[in-house]
Amino acid sequence: MRQNARGSSQRSSSIMKLPPQPKLPNPVYSLLLICTVISACGGGGGGDSAEKAAIASIQPAGPAASEVSAPAPDTSASAASAPEAASAASGPSAHALASISAEGAKAASPAVAVTKASPSTSASQSSATAQPTTATATTKATTASPSTGGGGSVPPPSNSSAAAATQQGSPKTTTLASSSGTSAQALTSAAAPVSAPVMSLLGTGVAGTAATGCTAKIYTDFIDTMQWNRRRVQPGDCALVRVNPPLFVWPQPADRNTKVAWSFSVRKANAGATVLTRTSTVPRVDTGNAPLAAGDYEWSVSYATTSGSTKVSAWRRFTIASDAINFVMPTGDALAASVANKVNPRALPAGSSFAAIAAAAQAGDYKNAYLALIKQANSTKTAAIPTPPDARATLPSPDSLMSPARDERKAIEALGFASYFTNDSSYRTAGINRLMSLANWSPTGLSSDANQDQVNREIHLALAQGLDLFRANMTTAQRTTVANALKARINQVVSKFSNFDADPYDSHLVSAVNFATESLLYVTGLPEFPEASAYLSRTWDTYKFVMNTWGGQDGGYGGGVPYGWYSFTQIPRTLSALRIIGGVDMVKHPYNSMWGDYLIAFTAPASTLYSAFGDGLDTTSLYSSYSWDEFRLFAALTKKPSHEWYWRALSTNPGNTMYISPWHLMLLGTGAPIAMRSVAASTDDAWASVDTGQVAIHSKAADPLRSSLFFRSSPFGSDGHAFADHNAFTFDSRGQNLLISAGYYPWYKSAHHVTVNRATRYKNALTFNGGIGQSEPGTSASAQPITPGNPAFSMDARGEIINFADTGVWAAATGDATLAYRTIFAAKPAATLLTTAIRSVAYNRTERVALIYDWATSATPRSWELNFHAFNTFDFVNKSVRVQNKGSSACFDVYNLPGSFNQVTGFAVAPENAKPKQWHGRYTAALPSTTLTAVTVIREDCRTVPITVSTSGSKVTVGVGSTGSIVFDQRSITMPQ
């Protein structure tokens, strides 16, 4: 559930064999950073005002570290291992309470009565309480000197040049109190305790995304024991359903007797009365046109096995929300019947005319679009018609036909619409000639669905649209030729729909359903294609279930941002055809209506930046490629002011003179406003999709130069176009990428792609023991990896968003990636690597500070590693690590983790497309341990913001400037409201 807070996809068949690639180069630059408290690393004292500038030093007071005993372990958390306890005792206290002070310095508004910048939104399962704070003028802290053991630092790299460049320093720990009972110095000018309202996020799920009081289970039935990428369940256990009546989806087991129908039942909660029963030949059920009453329910299915037994699923709980949208969709048969008698051309809205639309377009915002269509038709009318590929002397590759096929579709489309807008028969003649030539492309040849599905879908859409536009002026023989070619091509698509039963996440097939829906809406009912009605019925009944396969109820795409854009490109066309031809307004479905919100959240307006997640993230032209056509059409459908604002954010978009889809113009015939629609910038400064496991937190969403903290912990795992990057973050500052997801996308499954681009160690994420991370390839069912490998494509190695909230000043989220840290052997989850992997991220808009909290546990001591990646070298400023890019910068420090920071440039496997080098920093713990508790503080512009940090077991309290303190403790977050 979303909280307010492919164009050209690569095919695995396109893999090229490449020569061996160079190994990872020796480190060319390294830094040693041992830092447990930011005040000892340049980030704690000072500020950008005279008042803050007075805080310049830490006053030594109190016993040395050797005189301070290690604190007792936090009994509420996992007990620390002996190595971990030894690490804490030998260096600065791992649980030291930290503060920043200076003699005579004035406190910077320590009374934390926070005023919210905007209404608090979308708390996770939470409680609001009052947190006591103390107002002070100054504080005086004690300083514990490092022990003679050196604080647990690791030696510099063996490379001599790198070692020479290494900066070393003993860590300092600032404490208010120690476990030995030594008191901190008295607070001066202490005021009476005051209370500030806080929001507590309990790590039990994001509010509004699950049924109240319901904790989802993983059952031992045939559904949950299947591989996760074969297991699509809707609604999942404890789901809060917001579209009524619900659609039900479950996986197809291999031992099912497909000659016997499924038995499906819904009953009231807690084994209540049966509400409905159905039988189905496929693992999907549409409950019909009667919405369920709001309330709690359970559903179950059973099937007959090939051996004659019956297997029954667990009863999965779900709740129909009281405010659920009543959205009854027609059956496939009903939709086919409703369009069968439509007149051609069907793209023309009922009650309108081409003359009226042309006049409206030329008088308003779409003048340039109309002129571009006529210009395209004029240039195409006299252009050479390409020879069918199978008839050429030199046969092209199937992939090379993608652009020519798309160009032919556009040419036929432009000629057809121009003929109606102008009544110029020369356009019609040219269009029919091209259509007949395209029909002669062999449907079983190079352009077949089996050879290149993306080429086939462009061709069948062109054939269907051409038949709709030119049919009245075609001979019977011509109609039959085109219809037969179309039938052969569309049959190749529809016949594959049964693949969804065993492979529900086939993203190419999901896109194919969108194309097939539009094509069949044009031709259903035509006498030369009588099978089209049955094809449309099946396609529509499939579309309803699979349109949100890679999302859920909240919009977005679980396979990453770039492929979200690529998948989006056909969606506005399909939605337009469904509205105008089919009379079904699918824009009202939350998944469709919020696609635009997702793209706004993850691609800044007019952005040329790298994306945060997924294959193709190094593509910087997503906005400029798709905003002026596809997103503009989408905005015309949704009529949301923020969507209209978004496509207009690039100044050249409104006056664009390039060809855009004629659906823009056809919508004018539906009564859509001709004048510029209402425009309002997005106010969603924080956005989370639990369904796709992605979070975006911005300084200001509407700002093209916004700062953004992106976070992913996803149920879609590392499958498809997604990475092994759960609990990873990226950070943009003032309109520039700073901390990035490293690697490039030469093509799908290239050596660089599978080794570098998808790997956890090349993300801003947690690894251990030399880069071992998520979805590691297993060598047996129980073997632990010795070195990192190429991440397996798997949904079993996955994450989950368990907290999200935005109070205006603070926005925060938590991910649980425990299941991601395991091996995959024989396509199944195998060895457990970590017993806990929790990360919380938070952003303070007032102070422009980002926080990354890590809590991880392991049955085996691990050398914990925090990874950071950038376009440019990291450097060392006042003992903080600095990252810079094009005028933007940030400094970061790691707390509560004695260790070292080193960096290298280059890749284990070089990118096949000769891309620039990137820099890879890694902060490594000094000693192995079974528990990690650490927090990283990132200060934009390297501002000297007053920071306080205190730790106690897994609990870390961070004070940021005058905005109060945020508390992280395992799965929970407590922050000022």
How far apart CA 409 and CA 455 sit, in angstroms, is 11
- The answer to whether residue 850 sits within a structural domain is yes
pLDDT at 814 over 70: yes
Question: How many residues can be counted in the chain?
Answer: 977
pLDDT at 363 over 50: yes
Confidence of residue 676 (pLDDT cuts 50, 70, 90): low
Confidence of residue 402 (pLDDT cuts 50, 70, 90): very high
- The answer to whether residue 35 sits within a structural domain is no
727 and 875 within one domain: yes
Closest CA to 252 of 267, 274, 230: 230
Which tokens belong to 281?
């030949």
CA R_g for the chain: 30
Confidence of residue 98 (pLDDT cuts 50, 70, 90): very low
pLDDT at 217: 95
Select from 326, 358, 384 the last residue of a domain: 326
Give the global pTM. 0.83
Write down the H helix ranges in 99-216: 160-164
Report the CATH number at residue 381: 1.50.10.100
- The answer to whether residue 395 sits within a structural domain is yes
- Residue 71 gets the label, from left (phi > 0), alpha (psi -120 to 50) or beta, of beta
436 and 309 within one domain: no
* CB contact set of 408 (below 8 Å; sequence gap of 6+): 386, 434, 438, 458, 459, 462
910 and 796 within one domain: yes
Closest CA to 580 of 519, 636, 521, 527: 521
353 and 321 within one domain: no
Work out whether the CA dihedral 6, 556, 776, 778 comes out positive or negative. Answer: negative
Q: Give the three-class secondary structure for 85.
A: helix
Residue 648 near residue 657, CB atoms below 8 Å: no
pLDDT at 290: 82
Confidence of residue 906 (pLDDT cuts 50, 70, 90): very high
pLDDT at 704: 95
pLDDT at 81 over 90: no
Closest CA to 732 of 602, 918, 852, 579: 602
pLDDT at 925: 98
- The answer to whether residue 977 sits within a structural domain is no
788 and 729 within one domain: yes
Total structural domains in the chain?
A: 3
- The answer to whether residue 415 sits within a structural domain is yes
Helix or strand run (H / E) with residue 933: strand 929-940
Amino acid, res. 691: D
Confidence of residue 169 (pLDDT cuts 50, 70, 90): very low
Q: Give the three-class secondary structure for 496.
A: coil
pLDDT at 286 over 60: yes
pLDDT at 672: 62
868 and 747 within one domain: yes
pLDDT at 35 over 50: no
131-154: buried (b, 16+ CB within 10 Å) or exposed (e) per residue? bebebbebbbbbbbbbbebbbbbb
- The answer to whether residue 245 sits within a structural domain is yes
Mean pLDDT of 835-862: 99
pLDDT at 409: 98
pLDDT at 88 over 50: no
Confidence of residue 203 (pLDDT cuts 50, 70, 90): very high
How far apart CA 820 and CA 797 sit, in angstroms, is 4
pLDDT at 750: 98
CA 246 to chain centre: 24
Q: What share of the chain is helix, strand, coil (3-state, %, to 5)?
A: 25, 25, 50
pLDDT tens sequence across 304-341 = 999 999 999 999 999 999 999 999 999 999 999 999 99
Confidence of residue 195 (pLDDT cuts 50, 70, 90): low
286 and 252 within one domain: yes
Tell me which residue range forms the domain holding 285: 228-326
Mean pLDDT of 888-896: 98
Amino acid, res. 745: Y
pLDDT at 863 over 90: yes
pLDDT tens sequence across 539-595 = 999 999 999 999 988 888 999 999 999 999 999 999 999 999 999 999 999 999 999
Select from 581, 598, 625 the last residue of a domain: 625
How far apart CA 1 and CA 548 sit, in angstroms, is 12
721 and 618 within one domain: no
The 3-state secondary structure of 188-242, one letter per residue: ECCCCCEEEEEEEEEEEEECCCECCCCCCCCCCCCCCCCCHHHCCCECCCCEEEE
DSSP 588: G
How far apart CA 971 and CA 854 sit, in angstroms, is 10
400 and 315 within one domain: no
379 and 313 within one domain: no
CA 280 to chain centre: 33
pLDDT tens sequence across 226-244 = 999 999 999 999 999 999 9
Ranges 98-102, 517-521, 792-796, 822-826: which has the least confidence? 98-102
pLDDT tens sequence across 530-552 = 999 999 999 999 999 999 999 98
pLDDT tens sequence across 741-798 = 999 999 999 999 999 999 999 999 999 999 999 999 999 999 999 999 999 999 999 9
For residue 772, list its beta bridge partners. 768
Helix or strand run (H / E) with residue 100: none
For residue 46, list its beta bridge partners. none
- Relative to beta strand 822-825, strand 776-777 is parallel
Mean pLDDT of 385-392: 94
The 3-state secondary structure of 882-916, one letter per residue: EEEECCEEEEEEEECCCEEEEEEECCCCCCCCCCC
Confidence of residue 486 (pLDDT cuts 50, 70, 90): very high
Q: Which residue has the higher pLDDT, 161 or 278?
A: 278
804 and 904 within one domain: yes
- The answer to whether residue 640 sits within a structural domain is no
Half-sphere exposure of 103 (CA within 13 A, CB side): 3
Mean pLDDT of 434-460: 97
Select from 607, 625, 643 the last residue of a domain: 625
* Adjacency order of strands within the sheet including 828-832: 776-777, 822-825, 828-832
How far apart CA 822 and CA 819 sit, in angstroms, is 6
Half-sphere exposure of 295 (CA within 13 A, CB side): 12
Confidence of residue 894 (pLDDT cuts 50, 70, 90): very high
Which tokens belong to 342?
């439509």
Q: Which residue has the tokens 């919100």?
A: 597
Mean pLDDT of 893-918: 97
Mean pLDDT of 653-679: 87
Confidence of residue 621 (pLDDT cuts 50, 70, 90): very high
Ranges 190-204, 616-630, 721-735, 770-784: which has the least confidence? 190-204
368 and 298 within one domain: no
- The answer to whether residue 616 sits within a structural domain is yes
- Torsions phi, psi for 409 (to 5 deg): -60, -45
pLDDT at 675: 54
Report the CATH number at residue 917: 2.70.98.70
Amino acid, res. 775: S
